[in-house]
Amino acid sequence: MLVRAQDAPPGVDAVKAIGTVSKHDYETVIEPIVDAARREGRRIRLLYEFGPEFRSFTPAAGWEDFKVGIGALRLFEGCAVVTDIGWIRESTRFASFLMPCPVRVFDVQEREEALSWLVSLPEGPGVSHQLLSDSNVLVIEVEQPLRTADFEALAQTADSWLESHDTLAGVVVHAREFPGWENFGSLLRHVRFVRDHHRKVRRVALAADSRLAELAPHFAKHFVQAEVRQFGYAELDDAVAWAASPPDPSRADAG
């Protein structure tokens, strides 16, 4: 069975598996957590504990777990799995690379640390962005590893603009250093964002320290329809002005 823990801090949902976990447990414990998050417009930080009292899942529980997970992936902001059971630890580590949120495994004696980690997770997207409507330029500030939530928010902003405009004049990425992706799921979402939008962006500017100069060709390769140019980190205003300016006629002639 699954039971709700009552000692979880605000903003964290905690459940514990005891004995055999069935489909009914998911319907009466996990699905209400997901439904409440949807109603309240919040994201889920889940602690899932498997102590020595846990025995197994029924086949139907495994299928229900898969269904609930697929339907609610975007709602999860973080998941901590607390267990000393080897096969659960290993399968969780494997699955974490495909999750859109951070997932960590903790030992049973590290339960308090797991709760603290969930509480410490940043709320909402970790990368800030702003669409400058007067210049038709999307400015992205990158300071920490890229998350799936970042690209969901970017896509929502870009798509809302593109509903009434043919293109974005430019995208400016402002970063001192490239922090990478939070997990494999974040990388996949990044690829999908570029795939869906690269033909609708005229110019891409990278305003970054010189150490990021090697990223400019990488951006150029993916934004095949756009002009790509690098600026210094302190040259953000210049980068925005260039991104907002009309495209180079020679590029159109060359095409």
Q: Is the pLDDT of residue 81 over 80?
A: yes
Task: Report whether pLDDT(16) > 90.
Answer: yes
Q: Which residue has the higher pLDDT, 254 or 100?
A: 100
Q: Who has greater pLDDT, 65 or 133?
A: 133
Average pLDDT over residues 29-56: 88
C-alpha distances out from residue 5 to 9, 42, 133, 165, Å: 10, 19, 47, 49
> What average pLDDT does this structure show over 28-43?
86
Which band of pLDDT confidence, cut at 50, 70 and 90, is reported for residue 78?
Answer: confident
In a shared domain, residues 74 and 171: no
Is residue 81 domain-shared with residue 189, that is, in the same domain? no
In this structure, are 113 and 132 located in the same domain? no
Average pLDDT score, the chain: 82
pLDDT reading at 216 higher than 60: no
Per the CB < 8 A criterion, the answer to whether 95 and 61 are in contact is no
- Name the pLDDT band for 253 (thresholds 50, 70, 90): very low
Indicate yes or no: pTM above 0.75. no
Q: Are residues 85 and 170 in the same domain?
A: no
**Domain end: 67, 98, 120, which one?**
120
Give the best-scoring range by mean pLDDT among 68-77, 150-159, 174-183.
150-159
One domain for residues 83 and 191: no
Between 237 and 127, name the one with better pLDDT.
237
Closest Cα partner for 118 from 248, 14, 242, 22? 14
Same domain, 57 and 78: yes
Which of 201-205, 223-227, 243-247 shows the lowest mean pLDDT across its residues?
223-227
- Render 156-187 in DSSP notation, one character per residue: HHHHHHHTS-S-EEEEEEEESS---BSSHHHH
Domain containing residue 90: CATH number: 3.30.750.24
Which CATH number covers residue 208? 3.30.750
Hey, what amino acid is at 54? F
Show the domain range for 80. 2-120
Tell me, yes or no, whether 51 and 142 share the same domain: no
Task: State the average pLDDT over residues 82-103.
Answer: 84
Taking 3-state DSSP, the helix, strand and coil percentages for the chain, each rounded to the nearest 5, stand at 45, 30, 25
Pairing of strands 137-142, 128-132: antiparallel
pLDDT for residue 255 is more than 50: no
Same domain? For 14 and 60 the reply is yes
Indicate if 111 and 170 belong to the same structural domain.
no
Beta-carbon-side half-sphere exposure of residue 111 (alpha carbons within 13 Å):
16
pLDDT higher than 80, residue 207: yes
Boundary residue ending a domain (67, 88, 120): 120
58 and 159 co-located in one domain: no
- Residues 178, 213 within the same domain: yes
Number of structural domains the chain divides into: 2
Residue 240 and residue 167 share a domain: yes
